[in-house]
Amino acid sequence: MSDGAPQHTPVEDFGQIPAASANTGNPEDLAAAREHGWTEDSALDYNAFNAPTSDSNPTWASSAKVYEWDGEEGDVGPADPELEAQLFEGEHNRAGTALDHIMNFSATVEGPQTYDPISSFENAGLHPQVLANVKLCQYETMTVIQGYCIPIILAGHDLVAVAQTGSGKTAAYLIPIISKLMGKVRKLQGPRSKGGVRVRAEPLVVIVVPTRELAQQIFDEARRLCYRSMLRPVCAYGGIPMGINLQELGKGCDLLIGTPGRLQDLMDKPDVLSMKRVKFTVIDEADEMLHTDWEQEMSKIMGGGDMNEVPDHAYLMFSATFPKESRAAARMYMAEDFIRVRIGRAGSTHKNVAQDIIFVERNSKKQALYDILMARPPCRTLVFCNSRPAVEELDDYLWNRSIPTIFMHGGRSQLEREDAMRRFKGEKFHVLIATNVFGRGIDIPQVNHVVNYDLPGTEYGGISEYIHRIGRTGRIGHKGQATSFYNERNEDIAPALVNILLETEQEVPDFLLEFKPEDGKAEFVDDVTDDEDEISEPTYVTAAGNGDASGEPASPAAAEGGWGTGDAAEAEAPTIDAWASAPSAAW
């Protein structure tokens, strides 16, 4: 292995976690699982263990409590200690200590106007309450993508941003959007429900994502960052009764996070939802959302449905991968002066994820997975299969060998999917087996191990899907392990897989050496200078370094006219009129 390559996480780094109750399968397997720490002595019924919440009174993730305040003066409401504890003291992903590998990527910025990156949240010109919420989230170090995107979004540009998985892209757009709206909410927002009378939702922000689980995750992040503000986030996705969405939207909505199908359904109800006030449209996992499968829904959403009354409506697109065909589609929606930010190479990963590629014959994969799980200390583990039958078959196999498992795929009911998520988050020893429905954007704390039981061939997304899958571990300064089973059926992904290993200075196994370039260097097609994507404006590249988000000192102009520089948390907030006239935050 080359110098600088990540070392496999030592067993002691995974820590000790509580054991699950035991299955009543083979006594020898049960004894082994118990000895290894996966199970306790007590027996456990599979159906009871995996039983969903009662259908008669389900708890939906989209109905989670949000901060509600509609004071007559000011723009910051009183603290709610109970909600604050729920939002900020629970388990959510905080930055780890291994930040070097995600901070040292070069940044390429393309567009007609340049913006110096910022290196800290304190110097970003954020609203004091947004900065306070950032601190409550324990976001101490600004990542490279955040350092570049925050000033660009505050300045009102359309933006395409591409950065590695687990690099803080969600916060890179939520923080500046919420900060920019703070102080103007009373003037800009749509109607609010009074006396229980339902109103039409007229959001200021629409965030579109490909999966229900990602919608829930971004909703939770919005709940935290909107705390003590007048901004009300709402989450809408399929699989739950439409009435649940109507109930939440009917209370009023400023940030709407949703999946394309459900958003389209809601837009077909003009008495329920209007897009006329939307100032920001965010497309998360943009390469997936711009796929032709979503063309009808995305055309309607990007078009705004009814007449949008905002002349400087901003479109923001974020992803870890952004192939040529997706970039061409993106240009259809962006303003001519849009800015593109790339951190490192589009579609790359970072060295915090140690990648092991193991040759395993197809009929030996179940036993190989069991052996790997038993060779490691119990930890939160995510296993990917390419099909629903494979997920269920593997779940049954591991359960019968006393490994506590849960599974998720698109064929399960939404109630079952949400229960699986809650259980996986709540029990650190669980193994979650899933299809690609779990591969993008999902951010579960302390996922220490990802296993590609089935590598994603070209028909399952290829190397892009591989990057997204292994990105469920090693997030924001944490280290993780990714193990992939390879055999002759996976040769279509082999050259790209070898390139990823070389790029991250990781060992190429003997059985893949035939796909290694002669000079031993990774070979990638230039993802900037293709014919359809030529940009006449100059490109500039900034290399990160010295532990900063950008390697550059924060530009004084980056926060000009915002909520202050330096000691922004202690600064007195300007009046609404002053905020509205600020150059960097003006509409």
Chain-wide mean pLDDT for the chain? 79
pLDDT given for residue 523 in this prediction = 73
Distance CA 318, CA 320 (A): 7
Quote the tokens at residue 523. 């070979």
Distance CA 587, CA 573 (A): 19
> Residue 33: CA atoms inside 13 Å, Cβ hemisphere, count?
31
CB 43 within 8 A of CB 24: yes
Indicate the residue type of 107.
Answer: A
pLDDT given for residue 341 in this prediction = 93
> Residue 579: CA atoms inside 13 Å, Cβ hemisphere, count?
23
What is the average per-residue pLDDT within 522-551? Answer: 43
What is the average per-residue pLDDT within 235-256? Answer: 96
Q: What is the DSSP string of 121-145?
A: GGGTT--HHHHHHHHHTT--S--HH
Distance CA 234, CA 254 (A): 8
If DSSP states are collapsed to H, E and C, what string results for 433-470?
EECHHHCCCCCCCCEEEEEECCCCCHHHCHHHHHHHHH
Task: Tell me the residue ranges of DSSP E strands in 66-195.
Answer: 106-110, 159-162
Share of the chain above pLDDT 90, in %: 47
Quote the tokens at residue 407. 């599974």
207 - beta bridge partners? Answer: 257, 282
Distance CA 258, CA 415 (A): 17
What is the average per-residue pLDDT within 306-323? Answer: 79
Indicate the residue type of 150.
Answer: I
Place of tokens 């948390």: 569
pLDDT given for residue 562 in this prediction = 39
What is the average per-residue pLDDT within 133-141? Answer: 93
**% helix / strand / coil in the chain, to the nearest 5?**
35, 15, 50
CA of 345: how far to CAs of 105, 107, 328, 507, in Å? 9, 9, 18, 20
pLDDT given for residue 275 in this prediction = 94
Distance CA 445, CA 166 (A): 11
Q: Report DSSP state, residue 111.
A: S
Say which residues have a Cβ less than 8 Å from residue 357's Cβ, sequence separation at least 6.
484, 486, 497, 501, 509, 512
Distance CA 450, CA 434 (A): 11
If DSSP states are collapsed to H, E and C, what string results for 386-439?
CCHHHHHHHHHHHHCCCCCEEEECCCCCHHHHHHHHHHHHHCCCCEEEECHHHC
What is the average per-residue pLDDT within 272-278? Answer: 95
pLDDT given for residue 577 in this prediction = 29
Distance CA 478, CA 94 (A): 9
What is the average per-residue pLDDT within 48-61? Answer: 64
Distance CA 444, CA 91 (A): 9
Indicate the residue type of 195.
Answer: G
576: region left, alpha or beta (phi > 0 left; psi from -120 to 50 alpha)? alpha
CA of 515: how far to CAs of 73, 355, 394, 482, 487, in Å? 66, 17, 30, 20, 14
Distance CA 248, CA 250 (A): 5
Q: How does 336-359 read in b/e, with b if 16+ C-beta sit within 10 Å?
A: eebbbbbbbbbbbbbbbbbbebbe
CB 175 within 8 A of CB 403: no
Q: Report DSSP state, residue 201.
A: B
Distance CA 137, CA 445 (A): 13
More confident residue, 112 or 176: 176
Quote the tokens at residue 23. 């299955």
543 - beta bridge partners? Answer: 106
Would the pLDDT of 47 be above 50? yes
Place of tokens 């609203």: 127
Q: Which of 306-310, 401-405, 453-457, 534-538 has the lowest mean pLDDT?
A: 534-538
pLDDT given for residue 299 in this prediction = 84
List of domains in the chain: 101-346+531-580 (3.40.50.300), 353-515 (3.40.50.300)
136 class by beta-carbon count within 10 Å (0-12 exposed, 13-18 middle, 19+ buried)? middle
pLDDT given for residue 464 in this prediction = 85
More confident residue, 494 or 291: 494
Q: Which of 112-121, 462-471, 493-502, 538-547 has the lowest mean pLDDT?
A: 538-547
Distance CA 523, CA 498 (A): 10
Q: What is the DSSP string of 309-375?
A: --TT-EEEEEES---HHHHHHHTTTS-TT-EEEEESSTT---TTEEEEEEE--GGGHHHHHHHHHHH
Would the pLDDT of 34 be above 90? no
Say which residues have a Cβ less than 8 Å from residue 243's Cβ, sequence separation at least 6.
none
Q: Which of 169, 208, 195, 174 is nearest to 321 (CA)?
A: 169
* pLDDT (tens digit per residue) in 413-436: 989 988 888 888 876 568 999 998
More confident residue, 34 or 407: 407
* Cα–chain center distance at 456: 20
What is the average per-residue pLDDT within 349-373? Answer: 91
Cα–Cα–Cα angle for 108, 114, 119, rounded to 5 degrees: 70
Neighbours of 17 (CB within 10 A): 17
pLDDT given for residue 300 in this prediction = 85
Say which residues have a Cβ less than 8 Å from residue 385's Cβ, sequence separation at least 6.
391, 394, 433, 434, 435, 453, 454
pLDDT given for residue 540 in this prediction = 35
Would the pLDDT of 410 be above 70? yes
